[in-house]
Amino acid sequence: MITDLRLQNYRSYKDDSFELNSGVNIVVGPNASGKTNLLEAVLVLARGQSYRAKDTELIKFSKPWARIDADLSTSGKRTVKIVNEPASKTYELDGKTFKRLNLQHSLPVVLFEPNHLQLLGGSPERRRDYLDDLIEQTTPGYGTIRRQYRRALAQRNSLLKKVAGSSRSQVFPWDVRLSHLAGQIVRARSSLAQEINKEIPKIYQQISGTKTEVTVKYQNRWPVDNYESQMLKKLESSFDDDRLRGFTSVGPHREDLEVLFDGRAAQNTASRGEARTAVLALKIIELKIIEAARAQTPILLLDDVFSELDGRRRHALTDYLAPYQTFITTTDADLVVKNFTKACNVIALG
């Protein structure tokens, strides 16, 4: 739990400090008052990166550096320093300095922001990122595998786009590398989809008050047991087509997570309300999975989504919030406060 937070030269903040509640913290203010910036700072403190900007964009305009300091009830002091020139970022955890936050040093956190409400109807990339971000928070080393896959994919694509053309012998080592990493990614995603299916039918029915059965299915192109060998064969056989296209046409970067309502694809059958209920259920499951895997209670960040949910969904969400330190941004504090029986910490901005 974060007890105190100080932001220096961070986004819209020059030097501001906040005392925080172990329960619900409501960040209220008009648009452009810095609500999302405050929420984002908590995420950077916890996971080491923003969900919407590069590191140097987090520094207040014309300032050379930014700094986030926090006191934690369980693990002492925590600091993130971002420098503009040369671009760098360091972390101090109880006096020890690190260049990168690994899983052990990160804080478990769940973010829910308006774009997530498009999770079902948006592009497959959103759903892949949802899976990968969750796995990265619960599986040591997965972040490294994810970054290595992106680099290998970029290298293969770069060779495919060469003006003079690339040969099979040049591309083959990257086919092998890509297939090896792909198998690890697909097994992790498939396993997570199975874990989600243990919870989502029940939680969706509780929130919606209906008997609709919601399930998810990870659409891997080949069976997980021999994914590497099947992908390697396909990369070899599709080399000429990929070279014409200029990109790699198969692999985890082309797959999707399908959400089903009574066995039918949500994109084709779910109403706007049903889709939002399913996304809310996924976020609640995310909390549960991270808490179980990390043996720590996650911090919950709700960025301007309360106004996007109707009364039933708001109440359903608040029923699950009690164990978590929660940050909610809003332009209307009354809308949020009336949903909680316990006192909330209201942080007024602007």
pLDDT tens, 20-67? 999 999 999 999 999 999 999 999 999 999 999 999 999 999 999 999
Residues 90 and 66: their CA atoms lie apart, in Å, by: 11
CA atoms of 291 and 295, how far apart (whole Å): 5
User: Pairing between strand 2-10 and 65-72?
Assistant: antiparallel
Q: What does the pLDDT read at residue 292?
A: 95
Give the pLDDT mean for 95-118: 91
What value does the CA radius of gyration of the chain take, rounded to a whole number of Å?
A: 22
DSSP string covering 278-317: HHHHHHHHHHHHHHHHHTSPPEEEEES-GGGS-HHHHHHH
Q: What is the pLDDT of residues 260-307, one digit of tens each?
A: 999 999 988 889 889 999 999 999 999 999 999 999 999 999 999 888
pTM of the shown model: 0.90
Q: Is the pLDDT of residue 109 over 80?
A: yes
Query: What span, in angstroms and rounded, lies between the C-alpha atoms of 29 and 330?
Result: 7
Q: Are 302 and 330 in contact (CB under 8 A)?
A: no
Q: Tell me: the pLDDT tens digits for 198-240?
A: 999 999 999 998 999 999 999 999 999 999 999 999 999 999 9
Helix/strand/coil for 299: strand
pLDDT of 191 over the 80 cut? yes
